Amino acid sequence: MMFVFATITMMFVFTTITMMFVFATITMMFVFTTITMMFVFATITMMFVFTTITMMFVFATITMMFVFTTITMMFVF
């Protein structure tokens, strides 16, 4: 039980770390888009498409993490 709860807490810590990294990268992307806004608009659309793809990947990984945690909880309980 202690080991399982430790793994669950590690999973939540890993998800929080990934969320921090992802939000940092998203804010950097928006700053980069505002800098390039006065130059080219095609790059902005590509950046927004890239951010949406990364958001889909990130939410998919987060949902997979939560599903894995729920599966481990079911096995434990």
The string of pLDDT tens digits covering residues 23-68 is: 766 666 666 656 555 565 555 566 666 666 666 676 777 677 776 7
pLDDT at 14: 72
Query: Tokens 């399982």 — which residue?
Result: 4
Q: Nearest-5° angle of CA 17, CA 13, CA 74?
A: 135
Sign of CA dihedral 40, 43, 49, 50: negative
